Amino acid sequence: QPIESSDLEHFLQVPGPTFVPERILAAMHRQMLDHRGPEFQTLTREVLDGLPEIFRSTDPVILFPSSGTGGWEAALVNTLSPGDAVLFLVAGHFSMLWSRMAAEFGLDVRVLESNWHRGADAAELEVYLRSDADRKIKAVCVVHNETSTGAMTQIGDIRAAIDATGHPALLLVDAVSSIGAMDYRHQEWNVDVTISGSQKGLMLPPGLSFNVVSEKALEAAKSAKLPKSYWAWRSMLAHNADGYFPFTPPISLIYGLAESMIMLNEWGLENVFARHKRHAEAVRRCIAYWDLGIWCKVPRDYSPVVTAVVMPSGHDADAFRKLARERFNISLGMGQQKLAGKAFRFGHLGYTNDNLILAGLEAVESALEHARIPHRPGGVDVAYLFLNRRR
Ligand code: PLP
């Protein structure tokens, strides 16, 4: 799809926030209206009726004015009580942060930490749940796409592992960098709460989070005792039923969300997912040709939306990102936690196309050259060839 020139002042190659298309910027650039009036009521209903399809679900989607982190909090406080045992599958920075939040709420946090070079391990989960004979674990929490490592977890396998044990734990899944960018199936995977955010695949500014809630999650919410008020699903759902919110909603972002949903539906979600998978493959081929490493070591878990690139030893990734930004006008994602200083991240999600991906790779290759990072020049040509742009 064409991208207007004003989008191109800077290469925003971080894995979110992503470029906001002019169409969405224009949709948000509108006057306020009465959020208790009939026009907003119609808009809310349209958005809330259309959203489940984006999550491949028929369960209700709850919108909060917050970043994705607020979505994590809402999922925990609505389903759990102080002291409840919760199992976190930690495979990167974001799953770790989420588990820390749970500990701050006084939950009994158990962690199964897998190698950060791949997604979470379903077989280990199955063994763990089988050993939980008295069914203490109330929820299993996992991040679908670890934006920090560029490795995804196979949520279908996680579901199968839980089912194989007959364990009744809820399944809470962070799909913050998945929704609108990669194949995600709330319903088919029988997820109880899916959490997402606005600034990645949905191509919006940061500021909206999402909870998609199953019947089982709503049932759990009836007895969940963690304190909540602003984040309470119950009052939200009661107001949403009439097309309203319990508080003043982020009207501009909801205008934008309505346009984002139209765009995603025009393109077709499957086509969007295929676009990012293809770009991810082009990026990986380029990196391999450069002779740099890919942090994710398991090809099945390669993320379609972000690739973490390992620097040759002795070369600092943050100094490299600084040079890339200052000389080549490109923002690359920083390495977080175990990846700090060792890797940078190249995002290929959201409103992007072949030209942008190739130009982004070219900027990285030029920066490698200027920073005198050992590499084999010509990776961008490999990406060009893969994207079928030459004979
Ligand atoms: N989870 C994942 C997988 C993320 O990538 C992010 C942000 O990058 C978050 C959670 C946190 O979201 P936010 O920064 O919007 O609070």
In a domain, 232, yes or no: yes
Residue 364 lies in a domain: yes
Given a cut of 80, whether residue 119 has pLDDT beyond it is: yes
Q: What is the mean pLDDT of the chain?
A: 96
- Smallest CA-to-CA distance from 221 within 206, 232, 212 is with 232
| Same domain as 139, residue 94 | yes
Give me the pLDDT at residue 388, please. 85
pLDDT higher than threshold 60 for residue 243 = yes
The residues near 261 (Cβ < 8 Å, ≥ 6 apart) are 47, 50, 51, 54
> How does pLDDT run across 288-328, given as a tens digit for each residue?
999 999 999 999 999 999 999 999 999 999 999 999 999 99
Counted domains in the chain: 2
Residues 247-289 have pLDDT tens digits of 999 999 999 999 999 999 999 999 999 999 999 999 999 999 9
d(CA 17, CA 25): 14
| Res. 9 pLDDT band, cuts 50 70 90 | confident
Taking alpha carbons only, the member of 368, 299, 358 closest to residue 150 is 299
Residue 282 lies in a domain: yes
Print the domain residue range for 14.
5-18+269-386
Q: What is the DSSP string of 249-287?
A: --HHHHHHHHHHHHHHHHH-HHHHHHHHHHHHHHHHHHH
Q: Is residue 310 part of a domain?
A: yes
> What is the model's pLDDT at position 307?
98
The CA 172 to ligand 1 mean position distance, Å, reads: 15
Residue whose CB lies within 8 A of the most ligand 1 atoms, among 66, 147, 198, 349, for a mutation test: 147
Strand pairing category for 170-174 and 193-197: parallel
Whether 5 shows a pLDDT value over 90: the answer reads no
CA 196 – ligand 1 centroid, Å: 8
66 & 155 share domain: yes
Residue closest via CA to ligand 1's atom 2 equals 176
As a whole-number percent, the residues of the chain with pLDDT over 90 amount to: 96
* Of the residues 211, 233, 265, the one at which a domain ends: 265
- Which tens digits make up the pLDDT trace of 326-375? 999 999 999 999 999 999 999 999 999 999 999 999 999 999 999 999 99
Q: Are residues 13 and 36 in the same domain?
A: no
Q: Is 7 a residue whose pLDDT tops 80?
A: no
ipTM: 0.99
Residue 336 domain flag: yes
- Can you tell me which atom of ligand 1 is nearest the CA of 97? 10
- Note whether 26 and 168 are same-domain residues: yes
Q: Are strands 193-197 and 208-213 parallel, antiparallel or unpaired?
A: antiparallel
347: three-class secondary structure by DSSP? strand
Q: What is the pLDDT of residues 50-102, one digit of tens each?
A: 999 999 999 999 999 999 999 999 999 999 999 999 999 999 999 999 999 99
Q: Examine the domain organization and report whether 214 and 327 are in the same domain.
A: no
CATH at residue 100: 3.40.640.10
Do 145 and 289 sit in the same domain of this protein?
A: no
pLDDT band of residue 390 (cuts 50, 70, 90) is: low
**Cβ neighbourhood burial of 388 (10 Å; 0-12, 13-18, 19+):** exposed
Residues 209 and 109 in one domain: yes
Q: What is the pLDDT of residue 382?
A: 96
| Boundary residue ending a domain (240, 265, 290) | 265
Q: Give the integer Cα–Cα distance in Å for 285 and 340.
A: 23
**Residue from 14, 177, 204 whose mutation best tests the ligand 1 pocket (most atoms within 8 A of CB):** 177
- The atom number, within ligand 1, closest to the CA of 145 reads 3
Residues 33, 179 within the same domain: yes
In a domain, 176, yes or no: yes
Domain closes at, from 218, 239, 265? 265
3-state secondary structure labels for all residues of 153-197: CCHHHHHHHHHHHCCCCEEEEECCCCCCCCCCCCCCCCCCEEEEE
Identify whether 391 is part of a domain: no
211 and 360 within one domain: no
pTM above 0.90, yes or no: yes
Same domain, 297 and 335: yes
Give yes or no: residues 281 and 344 share one domain: yes
| CATH classification of the domain holding 363 | 3.90.1150.10
Which residues, in sequence order, are bridge partners of residue 306?
347
Residues 190 and 44 in one domain: yes
